[in-house]
Amino acid sequence: QVQLVESGGGVVQPGRSLRLSCAASGFTFSNYNMHWVRQAPGEGLEWVAVISSEGNNQFYADSVRGRFTISRDNSQNTLSLQMHVLRVEDTALYYCAREINWIDLLDYWGQGTLVTVSS
């Protein structure tokens, strides 16, 4: 069955960096675009970033562009999110989710990994 398992979350001080990972299984990872979506405590969903199936195209939310980098390793079925210059407002549960095509996206999500930015 399809599984997406995020890891790498934790408590970090403002201005520091953190790297999240998402391990995929149960489907052909290299055929799917992959997304990160986050949710601050008690708040709604916020789309963060997407990477194409081959890894050659990325798009970002305005709030993270220039600070976050999405990447993937299709040989390891792994998605990553490198986060730099973290802010208090980046505190959230970070989910990875898959997209098969432009009509059919975010059908499966991981359980999320919590990032807390605090001094």
Partner 1 sequence: DIQMTQSPSAMSASVGDRVTITCRASQGISNYVAWFQQKPGKVPKRLIYASSSLQSGVPSRFSGSGSGTEFTLTISGLQPEDFATYYCLQHKTYPLSFGGGTKVEIK
Interface residues with partner 1 (CB under 8 A)? 35, 37, 44-47, 50, 59-62, 95, 102-107, 109-112
Please identify, using beta-carbon distances, which residue of 27 and 47 lies nearer to partner 1: 47
What's the N-to-C CA distance of the chain in angstroms?
40
Min dist CB 13 to partner 1, Å, is: 27
Please identify, using beta-carbon distances, which residue of 16 and 65 lies nearer to partner 1: 65
Min dist CB 89 to partner 1, Å, is: 16
User: Helix, strand or coil for residue 71?
Assistant: strand
User: Helix, strand or coil for residue 72?
Assistant: strand
Q: Cα torsion for 111, 7, 29, 84, to the nearest 10°?
A: 120
Min dist CB 46 to partner 1, Å, is: 7
Please identify, using beta-carbon distances, which residue of 12 and 50 lies nearer to partner 1: 50
AA identity, residue 17:
S
Min dist CB 105 to partner 1, Å, is: 6
Residue 58: closest CA among 43, 48, 73: 48
